Amino acid sequence: MARIALITGATSGIGKATAEAFAQVDINLILCGRRQDRLDELARQLSGKVRTTTLLFDVRDKGAVQAMIGSLSDEWKNIDILVNNAGNAHGMGPLDEGDTDDWDAMIDGNVKGLLYVSKAIIPLMLEQGSGHIVNISSIAGKQTYANGAVYCASKAAVEVLSEGMRLELTQHGIKITNVAPGAVETEFSLVRFKGDESRAEKVYEGFDPLQASDIADAIVYAVNAPGRVTIADITILAGAQSAATVIHRK
């Protein structure tokens, strides 16, 4: 029987590319995000290949997370794969000048949001005695950089949560894969710089950045590995990147 995946942050970037890649390998999709028009468009685009449904919620809103995942009909409840992808950086600057609303958005979204969604889905996987959770961390969770400490801390938390989940859930047949991408050209920098296009474009200037589909390919590899294999951690850097802040630009 075809598997079912729930993907958070499916409206853009890595989440959207993962949905497209999963559709190619016949995985049915629960597409989640905060922009219904984009969810509808993606569902329409993929519906010729696989079954799709959409859920509109903000991962920071624990009531909404529980209510929306709880509202899934029986045909969608047997979730085989959860991709905890929703997240963003908000702002970039020194801690003493930091905007506390930006900090809340990053900690609440990237960390607590991932926890709320996981808490809603782990019981369903435990009941099945199987499942696969893919957490999208970042190279920023492994290497801290100046002016990004809160985002880095939120992604370091994802790294630790992946470890904790693996320790708790492996015995129940649930695999955990932690994916740490480097510089991927998505809407990430546009969000980080609050819509400033020229600042966002500069992030990807002078080198060939990762594309969202590169990350999606690795996620497909992880979820398609045989039962005897757990892909625990994947770090993917751009070809011109040797560390979080070291990119060789032309």
Catalytic residues: 151
Contact stretch for ligand NDP (CB under 6 A) within 31-39, 95-103, 167-175, 227-235: 31-39
**Residue 49 binds which of ligand NDP, ligand 8X3, none (CB < 5-8 A, kind-dependent):** none
Among 11, 18, 138, 186, binds ligand 8X3 (CB under 6 A): 138
DSSP code of residue 24 = H
Contact stretch for ligand 8X3 (CB under 6 A) within 17-25, 51-59, 135-143, 207-215: 135-143
Among 6, 9, 65, 122, binds ligand NDP (CB under 6 A): 9
* DSSP string for residues in 48-115: TTS-EEEEE--TT-HHHHHHHHHT--HHHH---EEEE--------S-GGG--HHHHHHHIIIIIIIHH
Site string for ligand 8X3, 187-226 (x = CB under 6 A): ----------------------------------------
Tokens of 115: 């926890």
Question: Rounded to an integer, what distance in angstroms lies between the CA atom of residue 166 and that of residue 224?
Answer: 18
Q: How far is the CB of 97 from ligand NDP (least distance, A)?
A: 22
CA dihedral 89, 92, 98, 99 (to 10 degrees): -50
Provide the angle, in degrees to the nearest 10, between the axes of the packed helices 114-128 and 62-70. Answer: 30
Among 4, 29, 105, 140, binds ligand 8X3 (CB under 6 A): 140
Residue 59 binding ligand NDP, by CB under 6 A? yes
The residues, ordered by sequence, that sit 6+ positions from 134 with a Cβ below 8 Å of its Cβ are 81, 82, 83, 84, 85, 176, 177, 179, 219, 222, 223
Q: Which of residues 75-104 bind ligand 8X3 (CB under 6 A)?
A: none
Residue 62 binding ligand NDP, by CB under 6 A? no
Contact stretch for ligand 8X3 (CB under 6 A) within 34-42, 102-110, 115-123, 133-141: 133-141
Provide the angle, in degrees to the nearest 10, between the axes of the packed helices 36-46 and 13-24. Answer: 20
Question: Which residues in this chain contact ligand NDP in the complex, by CB under 6 A?
Answer: 8-9, 11-15, 33-35, 58-60, 85-88, 109, 113, 136, 138, 181, 183-184, 186-188, 191, 212
